[in-house]
Chains A and B, each alone.
Chain A
Amino acid sequence: KAGVTQTPRYLIKTRGQQVTLSCSPISGHRSVSWYQQTPGQGLQFLFEYFSETQRNKGNFPGRFSGRQFSNSRSEMNVSTLELGDSALYLCASSPMTSGSTDTQYFGPGTRLTVL
């Protein structure tokens, strides 16, 4: 099976712009979670989607949003970019065969640099 894929892998933007990142989960996986990773803060949970519904959200401002499509692919959007948004954005997919939390498998990440 192909792993989790994320596009683009690298992105450079300037302050005030917006960005959309894409994630394709492992085939058959229905849950997609997004994380922001920075050297100072570690892995911070952004949100989780299952069957096109956001089930949980981390403590990030409303500039960060996401969605999931019927094929389980997910996108996250960051509007009005700030310098502090520079980070590695990771997507993780889970089979989520039951209602409980399940093992997550990470994609390679998108490294976003905001100038």
Chain B
Amino acid sequence: QKEVEQNSGPLSVPEGAIASLNCTYSDRGSQSFFWYRQYSGKSPELIMFIYSNGDKEDGRFTAQLNKASQYVSLLIRDSQPSDSATYLCAASGTGGFKTIFGAGTRLFVKA
């Protein structure tokens, strides 16, 4: 069973701090990795995707990928109360045409 594991949280950080969200995956054939944000009652919204080992930065968000450790993370700098949401990690690979989602980590940013 191919899986994506995330700590369900909740993760609570003060406003302005760095929030660190982590994810591990079991399928070594996974090639593409995604982070989605989902507000309560809404559908998932794409934040970032990453394909290569290392860091990828987009504004306040940095995704990190370590394929050897099968580990993906998302850093949110200068966290804002509006960042409070559930963050979903997802992994997919060629040939399977299927994306596996983690259960999500709930993040609370305290003002």
The interface of chain A, by Cβ under 8 A from chain B, is: 31, 33, 35, 42-43, 45, 48, 50, 55-56, 58, 88, 90, 99-109
Contact = CB atoms under 8 A, between A and B. Distances in A.
A103 B99 CA distance: 9
A108 B43 contact: yes
Interface residues of B, number: 23
Nearest to B100: A45
Nearest to A50: B97
Interface in B16-38: 31-32, 34, 36
Interface in B25-60: 31-32, 34, 36, 42-46, 49
Interface of B: 31-32, 34, 36, 42-46, 49, 88, 92-94, 96-104
Contacts of B102: 42
A107 B99 CA distance: 16
B43 A103 contact: no
Contacts, number: 57
A101 B88 contact: no
B96 A56 contact: yes
Nearest to A98: B94
B98 A56 contact: yes
Given A43-B88, A90-B43, A90-B44, A101 B93 contact: yes
